[in-house]
Amino acid sequence: MRIGMLTGGGDAPGLNAVIRAVVRKATDIYGDVVIGFRNGWKGAIDAEVETLTADSVKGILPRGGTILGSSRTNPFKIPDGVTKIEHTLASFKTDALIAIGGEDTLGVAAKLFEQGVNVVGVPKTIDNDLSGTDFTFGFSTAVEIATEALDRLHTTAEAHQRVMVVELMGRHAGWIATYAGIASGADVILIPEHPFDLDEVCEHITHRHQRGRTFSIVVVAEGATPKEGTWETAAGDQDAFGHVRLGGIANALAPEIEKRTGFETRVTILGHVQRGGTPSAFDRVLATRFGIAAIDAVHDRDFGKMVALRGNKIERVSLAEGVGELKTIDPDIYSVAEVFFG
């Protein structure tokens, strides 16, 4: 078979492990030709391609980023975008396409499948907010990086008796904030799923200091918002999928916390560090299993599916299920974190 492959959306550690797994099984076992489209849907629209071989994926397993490049191009927002993709797929005689991405990339894949494209999806996002799969690759690495940063911020916070407000990624869901917050013993965790009341946040901090603690760590997911009508924050610009560019809630929170509690407060925004660098062993294994499962699904001609982790098994779910609804934090896990607030 001739198989196209692309990586779209924000990168996540483990993308290269998926690419390597697909190429190795496709070329070594099935005798396929694998064509990589560069920079997500943009490469499929503009026919920017490269043939991927066992040689070209040599040594990429532990590397962050993606050798194919990525973009947030949305073909449904570009004139003739979909027709151009169909034309590229036909001109390179591709029998099937493997799309590796999050809600946006797989949302496009789901629509293309409805229009007759033979596509299989691989779920990727550090945010872990895709439905149908227990975990996405990239999440474990992001949690490790955030936990290490929070551990380091604890010691400097303690030395200076400060409140540290630490902003982590998580546009729609607080998975990274909750996991890293539990792992590092955060004193308050603010996530998009639970709009916060700033007075309550300050009460937690004050209560903690009344109990003799001299510092506090407040973890805030970038998409966290105040309860309606309690506090005004500014909105950012939008990307091609209509998402607001976030990054800044911690800067808004810190001076308010300092003013209301009287404790010196500092801000750390961890940002793209959470997406960069080498994947954790867990993510390498998950990404490799996803890649193998995706090429097997292509050979079973089981199109319109997304590979998924359910328990410890890799299964196939419909792309529509994967992108239908965002997977917000499991309330049982957040309630574990809440025990340690204040």
Contact residues for ligand F6P, defined by CB under 6 A: 9-10, 102, 125-127, 169-171, 222, 239, 246, 275
Q: Minimum distance from CB of 11 to ligand F6P (Å)?
A: 8
- Closer residue to ligand F6P (CB): 169 or 329: 169
Which of 205, 267 has the CB closer to ligand F6P? 267
Question: Which residue is listed with tokens 């924000």?
Answer: 10
**Which one is catalytic: 32, 127, 129, 187?**
127
Whole-angstrom distance, CA of residue 64 vs CA of residue 11: 8
Nearer to ligand F6P, 75 or 192 (CB): 192
- DSSP letter assigned to residue 164: E
Q: How far is the CB of 218 from ligand F6P (least distance, A)?
A: 18
Spatial distance between the Cα atoms of 211 and 187, rounded to a whole number of angstroms? 13
Q: Please report how close the Cβ of residue 127 comes to ligand F6P at its closest, in angstroms.
A: 5
C-beta of 172: minimal distance to ligand F6P in Å?
8
Provide DSSP, 275-307: T-SPPPHHHHHHHHHHHHHHHHHHHTT--SEEE
Q: Does 127 participate in catalysis according to the annotation?
A: yes
Whichever of 9 and 342 has its CB closer to ligand F6P, that residue is 9
Query: Is residue 320 a contact partner of residue 110, using CB atoms and an 8 Å limit?
Result: yes
In the chain, beta strands by DSSP E: 2-7, 33-37, 49-52, 96-101, 119-123, 163-168, 188-190, 216-221, 265-269, 305-310, 313-318
How far apart CA 107 and CA 326 sit, in angstroms, is: 12
- Rounded Cα distance between 175 and 333, Å, is 9
Closest residue to ligand F6P in the complex (CB): 10
Closest CB 222 distance from ligand F6P, rounded Å:
6
Decide: 196 and 190 in contact? Cβ < 8 Å: yes
CA 73 to chain centre: 17
Q: Which residues are catalytic?
A: 127
